[in-house]
Amino acid sequence: MTRRAMNYTNVQAEDPEIYQIIKKEEQRQKEGLELIPSENYASAAVLEAMGSILNDKYAEGYPKKRYYGGNQFIDEVESLCQKRALAAYGLDPKEWAVNVQPLSGSPANIAVYFALMNFGEKLMALQLTEGGHLTHGADANFSGRAYKPVFYPLDPQSQMLDYDVVRKLAQEHRPKILLAGYTAYPRTIDFSKFAQIAKEVGAYSMADISHISGLVSAGVHPSPFPDMDVVTTTTHKLLRGPRAAVIFSKRATLKDGKSISELIDKAIFPGLQGGPHEHTIAGVAIAFKEAQTSEFKTYAAQVIKNAKALAESLMAEGLKLVSGGTDNHLLLVDLTPFGPGKGIFVQQALEEASITANKNTIPGEPASPFFPSGLRLGTPSITTRGFKEGDMQQVGKWIADVIKSVKDYNYFPEKEKRQAEIDRFKKELANNEVIAKVRKEVNEFCSKFPVPGIE
Which parts of this chain interact with ligand DSN (CB under 6 A)? 38, 105, 133, 183
Which candidate, 151, 207, 141, places its Cα nearest to that of 175? 151
Q: What angle do CA 288, 41, 47 make, to 5 degrees?
A: 65
- Cα-to-chain-centroid distance, residue 260: 25
Closest to ligand DSN by CB, 39 or 60: 39
Closest to ligand DSN by CB, 167 or 277: 277
Min CB(178)–ligand DSN separation in Å: 20
**329 with 164: CB under 8 angstroms?**
no
Q: Strand runs (DSSP E) across 203-291, as ranges?
A: 204-208, 230-234, 245-250, 254-255, 258-259
Closest to ligand DSN by CB, 80 or 330: 330
- Taking CB atoms, the residue at the shortest distance from ligand DSN is 38
Residue 58 annotated among the catalytic residues of the structure: yes
Q: What share of residues in the chain are helix, strand, coil (percent, to 5)?
A: 50, 15, 40
Catalytic residue chosen out of the listed positions 60, 155, 190, 262: 60
Cα gap 97→272, rounded to integer Å: 19
Residue 232 annotated among the catalytic residues of the structure: no
Min CB(413)–ligand DSN separation in Å: 26
Residue 60 annotated among the catalytic residues of the structure: yes
Catalytic residue chosen out of the listed positions 135, 232, 234, 280: 234
Min CB(434)–ligand DSN separation in Å: 27
Closest to ligand DSN by CB, 61 or 224: 224
Catalytic residue chosen out of the listed positions 48, 208, 227, 334: 208
Residue 237 annotated among the catalytic residues of the structure: yes
Min CB(209)–ligand DSN separation in Å: 12
Closest to ligand DSN by CB, 183 or 261: 183
Residue 208 annotated among the catalytic residues of the structure: yes
Min CB(312)–ligand DSN separation in Å: 23
Question: In 10 A of CB 17, how many CB atoms?
Answer: 8
What is the dihedral angle through the alpha carbons of 446, 332, 221, 108, rounded to the nearest 10 degrees?
-90
For 120, left (φ over 0), alpha (ψ -120 to 50), or beta?
A: left
Cα gap 71→66, rounded to integer Å: 7
Catalytic residues: 58, 60, 208, 234, 237, 243
